[in-house]
Amino acid sequence: MEEATSEFPLFALNTIYINETFDAGNASSGTGTDSSFGYCDTYLKPFAKSYSTLHGYNSLIICLFGVHANILNLIVLSRKEMRNPTNAILTGLAVADLANMILLPKTNSYEWAAYVLIHSNFSQVLHTTSIWLAVTLAVWRYVMVTRYRESKIICSMKRAQKAVIAAYIFSVVLCTPIYFSFAVKPIQNMGDKENSPIYVVNVSDLAIKYPMLKTTNFWLYSVVIKMIPCAIFTILFMPHIFERQGGRASFSFEAFGSDSTTRMLLAILFLFLIAEFPQGLLGLMSGVLGDEFFNSCYIPLGDLMDFVALLNSSINFILYCTMSEKFRETFVKVFRLNGIARLFRRQSTSRIMYEDTHTA
């Protein structure tokens, strides 16, 4: 179990790309990845060391929950009574999140290393798709709230389906430089009597030959995949959510629509912002400040940021259940939980009556 969970940072999560890219740059320039006097060494290295023992187990638990939660999302959102343009985008988001969390057991074979490479590329594409579907969702809701009359034409089911397909295709094309940056390579297993090789994912010969791939991957990851979507969220929603009342700014979901659907979607987008903005910001600072900042600040926080990203991919089911009455009703209907639902309602009614009697 410990051996399996120790592999999580390599294949289930998305910082493999930026980590390997910087490591390749260090190797080619003759610098190591260990920095004696880094920006954050004093504070973050002890944290990274202690958290690394828990990261694999935490991620495994979240992935197991996330897979089942997103399957439930797909079952409920695909029901006839739930079909609408917004839910079509949420369905596409659930597919990407679900596929991003599917795992296989580890071996040291070439086939396993090839799977790691394919899954890593696949995972990055799906994570990018999730981000840009969230952007699509933000723009979609913005149009529906600010241009209500035109939205019935602009935000049709057919256009929602096209937007989901476009997000998937766009992400596949956007991640193209990543596909050429890594390859399966053999390394010698010194502990093996037969000296048989172990196959691992490493920087490709093409990336070593052309350093421009490193630069392209860095800006692609930190700016296009992370910072630009965060900027779109901020530009679209912050001016409306932080409204001025009595001469001072106040936080309010109501300023951008009082219905439960809008509040639920805003919660989803805020969680995306919380999960993605720190990675984008730290990646951007790594590019500006160099390898020393990356090695001492970004890498120690890599496991934690990956865990937050996984958590964000698995938590939507809880948001839907707590914030969408229509989703709850459909969920209860699909899984025939009417008896349990009635029990909870009866207990809630009894509690309210008891409180009213004793406060009268």
Assigned domain for 188 exists: yes
Higher-pLDDT residue of 168 and 153 is 168
**Residue 358 confidence (pLDDT):** 46
Determine the average pLDDT of the residues in 51-55.
Answer: 88
**Residue 42 confidence (pLDDT):** 76
What one-character DSSP code corresponds to residue 37?
T
Burial of 339 (0-12, 13-18, 19+ CB in 10 A): exposed
Instruction: Report d(CA 294, CA 30) in Å as an integer.
Output: 16
What one-character DSSP code corresponds to residue 250?
E
Determine the average pLDDT of the residues in 244-272.
Answer: 62
Nearest to 49 by CA among 308, 296, 300: 300
How large a percentage of the chain has pLDDT more than 90?
A: 20
Instruction: Report d(CA 163, CA 170) in Å as an integer.
Output: 10
Per-residue model confidence as pLDDT tens digits over 160-198 = 999 999 999 999 999 999 898 888 888 776 555 566 677
Higher-pLDDT residue of 222 and 41 is 222
Assigned domain for 85 exists: yes
In this structure, the number of other CB atoms found within 10 A of the CB of residue 346 comes to: 10
Instruction: Report d(CA 41, CA 55) in Å as an integer.
Output: 19
Instruction: Report d(CA 94, CA 166) in Å as an integer.
Output: 16
Most distant pair of Cα atoms in the chain: their distance:
83
**Residue 153 confidence (pLDDT):** 86
Range of 132-146, 233-247, 332-346 with top mean pLDDT: 132-146
Number of domains in the chain: 1
Entry pTM: 0.75
Indicate the average pLDDT of the chain. 77
Q: Which helix (H) or strand (E) holds 63?
A: helix 41-77
Assigned domain for 163 exists: yes
Per-residue model confidence as pLDDT tens digits over 63-103 = 899 999 999 999 999 999 999 998 999 999 999 999 888 76
- CATH number reported for the structural domain that contains residue 139 in this entry: 1.20.1070.10
What phi and psi values does residue 155 have, to the nearest 5 degrees?
-100, 55
Assigned domain for 223 exists: yes
In this structure, the number of other CB atoms found within 10 A of the CB of residue 206 comes to: 12
| Structural domain boundaries, residue 174 | 2-29+37-239+252-323
Collapsing DSSP to helix, strand or coil, 108 comes out as coil
Assigned domain for 343 exists: no
Assigned domain for 158 exists: yes
C-alpha angle 7/51/304, rounded to 5°? 75
For the chain, the residue count is 360
Determine the average pLDDT of the residues in 212-226.
Answer: 84
Cα separations in angstroms, 27 against 15, 220, 291? 18, 21, 11
Assigned domain for 202 exists: yes
For β-strands 182-188 and 197-203, DSSP reports them as antiparallel
Determine the average pLDDT of the residues in 29-45.
Answer: 61
> How confident is residue 114, by pLDDT bands cut at 50, 70 and 90?
confident
Per-residue model confidence as pLDDT tens digits over 127-148 = 899 999 999 988 888 888 788 8
**Residue 6 confidence (pLDDT):** 41
Whether 114 and 155 have beta carbons less than 8 Å apart is answered as: no
Assigned domain for 342 exists: no
Nearest to 132 by CA among 310, 263, 276, 19: 276
